[in-house]
Amino acid sequence: MELFGTYDVVVTGAGITGVVAAIREAREGAKTLLLEASGVLGGLVTGGRLTKPTGLINGGVFHELIQRCAGYKGADNRTRESYWGAYTGAFDAEVMQRVVIEAIEEAGVEVLLRAQVVQTMKEGGHLRGLQIQTKSGSKLVLAKVFIDASGDGDVAALAGVQFMLGRKTDGLTQPITSYFRVLNVDIPRLVEDCREHRDDMWELVVPETGGSRNEDYVMVFFATGFTKRIEQAKNEGFPWIVPKDHMTLKAGLIPGELNINVTRFHGNGLDDRTLSKAEIEIRKQAYCAFDFLKQYVKGFENAIFLEVAPKLGIRETRRIQGHYVLTEADVRGEARFEDAIGLCNSPVDIHEPGGERAIMESVGSGYGIPYRCLVPEGVRGLLVAGRCISVDEVAYGSTRNVPACAMTGEAAAFAAAYCSKHGVDPLQVDVNEVQKSLRDGGVNLGIPGEVISR
């Protein structure tokens, strides 16, 4: 097989986790390759048209990216409060894409898009190489250390690491959802409508000063609810085909733009037929929800359907078996760990597997994510980061959110740089060194007795 190249560190997956990891890695002086199966940098935060981190951004590269978006007037980076806790601002997906490209190029990361990892090459229990499938065929990539930021834990699974999938009781995972975007909504009129139906709104965020123009609501307006009206529409014979009883509307950067989270497809995000069917069914659901809004909610009279997010929104797939499995009790109990690499306050955010509902439950001031959750059992030379780290199904409801993904990407990068420099395995990393580097970048670690800075 043709050798594509030899690197210090190869990061698989260019979602926010992989992007943060690769930038940090290259800044640490490692010869770094970032592999991505699609043509998009940023994964769900760009191609999924996400608009906000659910939780506080905890220093590091992601914090810089948000600040940079704000510099382009593409993010509102103020800290906000919700019923489930504090979170950092909102951003525009395309501005985020722009700053990701800038930061990757400045750091000197080599990027290979449209390159899917399809096999691993091991020597004994040590991961040495990845087989990638590209337009021109199969190629081999070699490295001292690998970071699996594929979201799905593809590299770890291919290398033979054990993993967990779905609920213990029935194996079901959180549903697949793609955002869709609508333009030309009369937001002041929509706000009036939400206020008239206040008992049907779970959450309603409007600028303190209010406003009569769409511009006044840009990146601030946020509303969740509409349950009663969906029920009423169904009773009146409206063909509601979405297996969900509520929706969330978020104002984007363009005046009159809304990003809408309502579609829901139940199924295993690792199954080919499920993925194909989801792409189509989710579009049909988005058109249905759009028709509902036009018919039942004020402000949508002249709305224009812009797009369904180009990247399918896979919420949950593999959770890799690591040297520690972060548990529901840890997350709800605000646990701190000596080897923690980031303090996470993201709520337990679970979209009901197989059902219609969703929960967002506060985790108070947050919990520490142990470094051991990033080190898979049974394979050397590999770290995992992002939504595939080692956690149980409820802890996953929190760690799957963008803040923890970014934190674990950053920590994995420091650890991989250490491995590459010292010729050791991730399990032999001096965690104090990783923690020191993280702390220097403004990260709250989540260790016992730490004084939290914001």
Give me the least distance between CB of 366 and ligand FAD, in Å please: 14
Q: How many CB atoms lie within 10 A of CB 123?
A: 10
Per CB under 6 A, contacts with ligand FAD among 253-282 are: 261
Would the CA dihedral through 163, 167, 172, 173 be positive or negative? negative
Residue 38 makes contact with ligand FAD by CB under 6 A: yes
- Name every residue whose Cβ is closer than 8 Å to that of residue 88 and which is 6 or more positions away in sequence: 52, 53, 55, 56, 57, 66, 77, 78, 79, 80, 403
Residue 52 makes contact with ligand FAD by CB under 6 A: yes
Q: Total residues at the site for ligand FAD (CB under 6 A)?
A: 38
From the list 374, 387, 390, the residue with the least C-alpha distance to 429 is 374
Which of 10, 11, 17, 89 binds ligand FAD (CB under 6 A)? It is: 17
Provide the token pair at 106. Answer: 């400045």
Measured distance CA(159)–CA(207) in Å, rounded: 50
Give me the least distance between CB of 424 and ligand FAD, in Å please: 25
Which residue's Cβ lies closest to ligand FAD? 15
Nearer to ligand FAD, 55 or 188 (CB): 55
Strand 163-165 relative to strand 318-320, pairing = antiparallel
Measured distance CA(409)–CA(38) in Å, rounded: 19
Q: How many CB atoms lie within 10 A of CB 77?
A: 16
Would the CA dihedral through 336, 340, 344, 349 be positive or negative? negative
Which of 144, 264, 380, 387 binds ligand FAD (CB under 6 A)? It is: 387
Measured distance CA(90)–CA(88) in Å, rounded: 7
Per CB under 6 A, contacts with ligand FAD among 397-416 are: 400-402, 405
Which of 23, 26, 54, 221 binds ligand FAD (CB under 6 A)? It is: 54
Nearer to ligand FAD, 188 or 370 (CB): 370
Q: By CB under 6 A, which span of 102-110, 214-222, 224-232, 310-318 interacts with ligand FAD?
A: 310-318
Strand 137-148 relative to strand 382-384, pairing = parallel
**Phi, psi torsion values for 30, nearest 5 degrees:** -85, 145
**Phi, psi torsion values for 300, nearest 5 degrees:** -100, 5
Give me the least distance between CB of 95 and ligand FAD, in Å please: 16
Which of 88, 97, 120, 177 binds ligand FAD (CB under 6 A)? It is: 177
Give me the least distance between CB of 22 and ligand FAD, in Å please: 11
- What is the H or E stretch that residue 16 is in? helix 16-27
Nearer to ligand FAD, 207 or 310 (CB): 310
Q: By CB under 6 A, which span of 16-24, 281-289, 317-325, 443-451 interacts with ligand FAD?
A: 16-24
Residue 117 makes contact with ligand FAD by CB under 6 A: yes
Residue 92 makes contact with ligand FAD by CB under 6 A: no
- Name every residue whose Cβ is closer than 8 Å to that of residue 118 and which is 6 or more positions away in sequence: 131, 132, 133, 138, 158
Instruction: Annotate each residue in 145-174 with x if it binds ligand FAD (CB under 6 A) or - if it does not, as one string.
Output: ----xxxx-x--------------------
Which of 53, 322, 381, 397 binds ligand FAD (CB under 6 A)? It is: 53
Nearer to ligand FAD, 12 or 345 (CB): 12
Residue 43 makes contact with ligand FAD by CB under 6 A: yes
